[in-house]
Amino acid sequence: MNLNELTIREAKDGLNKKDFTSVELTAACLDRIKKRDGEINAFITVCEDLAMKEAVRADETIERGEAWPLTGIPFAVKDAICTAGVRSTGASKILDNYVPPFDATVIKKIREQGAVLLGKNNCDAFGHGASNENSMYGPVRNPRNTKKVAGGSSGGSAAAVADNMCIFAVAEDTGGSIRQPASFCGVVGMRPSYGRNSRFGIMSMASSLDTVGPIAKSVDDVAFLMEIMAGNDKMDATTVSDAVPNYVEELKKGVKGLKIGVPKEYFELEGLNEEIKELTYKKIDILEKAGCKIKQVSLPYTKYAIAVYYIIVPSEDSSNLARLDGIRYGLRADANNLFDIYANSRADGFPEEVKRRILIGTYALSSGYYDAYYKKAQKVRTLIKNDFDEIFKKVDALITPTSPFSPFDLGEKIDNPLALYLADIMVSPAAVAGVPAMSVPAGENYSGLPIGAQIIGPRFREDLVLRIGKELEKN
Based on the residue annotation, tell me whether 153 is a catalytic residue of this protein: yes
Which residue in 92, 153, 157, 204 is the catalytic one? 153
The reply to whether 78 belongs to the active site is: yes
Alpha carbon distance 434, 387 (integer Å) = 12
Determine the Cα–Cα distance for residues 207 and 88; give it in Å rounded to an integer: 19
**How far apart, in whole angstroms, are the C-alpha atoms of residue 5 and residue 356?**
39
Dmax (CA) for the chain in angstroms is 70
DSSP-based three-state secondary structure for 448: coil
Question: What is the rounded CA–CA span in Å between residue 313 and residue 8?
Answer: 34
Beta strand pairing call for 116-121 and 43-46:
antiparallel
Q: Closest by alpha carbon to 395, among 273, 240, 284, 276? A: 284
**What are the backbone dihedrals phi and psi of residue 202, each rounded to the nearest 5 degrees, phi first?**
-90, 135
Residue 74 φ/ψ region, left for φ over 0, alpha for ψ in the -120 to 50 degree band, beta for the rest: beta
Q: DSSP labels for 19-46? A: SS-HHHHHHHHHHHHHHHHHHH--EEEE
Identified catalytic residue from 177, 204, 345, 403: 177
For residue 206, the tally of other CB atoms under 10 A from its CB is 21
Is-catalytic flag, 183?
Answer: no
Yes or no: say if 290 and 325 are a contact pair by the CB < 8 Å rule: no
**Alpha-carbon distances of 128 from 53, 54, 237, 417, 421, rounded to whole Å:** 34, 32, 24, 11, 10
| Dist. CA 198–CA 72, nearest whole Å | 24
Do the beta carbons of residue 302 and residue 387 sit within 8 Å?
yes
Active-site pick, 12, 78, 120, 413: 78
List residues bridging with 297 in a β-sheet.
Answer: 263
Catalytic residue annotation: 78, 153, 177
